[in-house]
Amino acid sequence: MIPTVSLSAQQCSRFHQDGYPAIPSLTTHDDVARLRVSYDRIFSTLAGRDVGDQFDLAGTDEEGKRAALPQILHPAKYAPEMKDSLLLRNATAVAQQLLGPDVTCAMCSRTGA
């Protein structure tokens, strides 16, 4: 998948001056919809909970109780299709523009993650 976001010289300059760029959007509504299906599945099946990758970040994290702020670590480990998202490709491309061509995506290169 080819990235669809490229920063302007002004956006890159703002990052180096202020510490952040203003980026209107990193992906499409369709990509968000696909990611939502994956997230909904891994949260509803409690994927990774048994190894500590899924937990309640803001609540009591009790079994059988709905999480106040559910958190999942390494989501692509439980939903490998996330590695093929436009969001991931665009975020990596932006990071390379801002930090250099040697920047890589840890989620993309992690085996089994």
At 109 the pLDDT is 61
Instruction: Please give the backbone phi and psi of residue 5, each rounded to the nearest 5 degrees, phi first.
Output: -115, 135
Look at residues 23, 45, 22, 37 and name the one whose alpha carbon lies nearest to residue 81.
37
Binned average pLDDT, 10 residues per bin, the chain of 113 residues: 92 93 93 97 95 91 86 94 93 94 77 42
Structure tokens that stand for 51 in this block: 């190894």
